[in-house]
Amino acid sequence: MRSGAEHHDVVIVGGGICGLATALALHRKGVKCLVLERSDRIRATGAAIGVFMNGWCALDRLGVGAMLRDKTIPIPEIQEVWHHKSAMQVKSTRIEEFRCLKRTDLIQVLFDNLPVDLVRLGCQIVAVERDPSTSFPILYVHDGSIIKAKVLIGCDGSNSVISKSLGLGSLNSLPNCVIRGLTNYPNGHDLENRFVRHLDGYMAFGRIPVDDNLVHWFVDWPYPDRDIDAPKDPKFLMELAMQQIKDYPAEMIEMVKSSDPSSLSLTRIRYRSPWHLVFGNFRRGTMTVAGDAMHMMGPFLGQGGCVAMEDAVVLARNLAQAMLMGLEGGRVGDGELKKRIETALENYVRERKPRVLKLAMQSMLVGILISSSSKIKRLLSLVLLLVFFGGASLSYTRYDCGPL
């Protein structure tokens, strides 16, 4: 336990993709911050992440796009294979810049571009309150230490302590779960550079090449286990995934069987409902949220990580000017600084809400279409998707988050 309270300008809770991207964006703008990560090491759950054009736009603004492109290959086409009884329907869609990155590569590059000691590991926040004298946030850490910040940003994912402090509603769950993994082919794989997704009833199996040797795959299906968040043995996960695709071609089963056990993960699909985004309070005082803590969504659009990186750029752009003007030379007092920060965070929330609301609605409808057992719900979801989003349009991937 440290004696006395630490004081920092900006504290980011969560050292995942969103937290590190936000820290890097602020660092590029000259704003000092501290990242608090509860794990003892930088976390990268989920094996790999598909990054669309909007995600690459954000990574370029962060100054790491070029080095990450060197770690993967372009995927110019998405192919969906619909199985219905003995029939099969194939639909191919050309897509602008899309690549699949190992999460560890993305996390490591973000981390390596930050100053030493900016990220503090093994630091779990147990409570947050406002300082009665300044109204700035106070964080209480599991080891008994206290951290005072002028700005608090929650990038702590689906179980966000900061979201709870803001009074945001709990997440919704779909009956589906996802197992994800990575398979390495030492002599190279012979797969075409396509994102292929097989859809069979309520089950989906997909695979995306990361490079010439590595392939990311996933299985998505209704899974009744309520104890989904408990640690699962990799062998159990591998057998569970193979069971779902037992009637698929042998090369797909072999891909799962040959996967790296350490890459396997099982997660329940959870999301923040669109109406919570409409009515939720994403800022209080100088405290806000970003990434999954703000807009957790299902994987159906492949936008969770991309939108989190957009958040980082937009948040840093709005916050940096207020912080630098307020802190340089001690020009303003705490009261004036607080007003400037609140305005900056309000602008950030106002800019992001329409974007994430539209994606959350589209993702939820696709999720219902895939997972619901009700024909009426599925039909209604399909109609709403066609009316409001043009069906399977990928226009959301062409979004530009703007300059840093």
Q: Token pair 């969770």 is at which residue? A: 304
Of 281-285, 361-365, 367-371, minimum mean pLDDT range: 367-371
Q: Token pair 């939720």 is at which residue? A: 280
Q: How far apart are CA 68 and CA 19, in angstroms?
A: 18
Q: How far apart are CA 400 and CA 265, in angstroms?
A: 31
Nearest to 152 by CA among 345, 339, 20, 288: 288
* Predicted TM-score of the model (pTM): 0.94
Count the alpha carbons within 13 Å of 394 in the hemisphere toward its beta carbon: 16
pLDDT for res 1: 45
pLDDT digits (tens, 9 = 90+) for 165-183: 999 988 998 888 999 999 9
Torsion angle of C-alpha atoms 189, 192, 194, 199, degrees rounded to 10 = -80
pLDDT digits (tens, 9 = 90+) for 238-277: 999 999 999 899 999 999 999 999 999 998 899 999 999 9
**Does the pLDDT of residue 43 top 80, yes or no?**
no
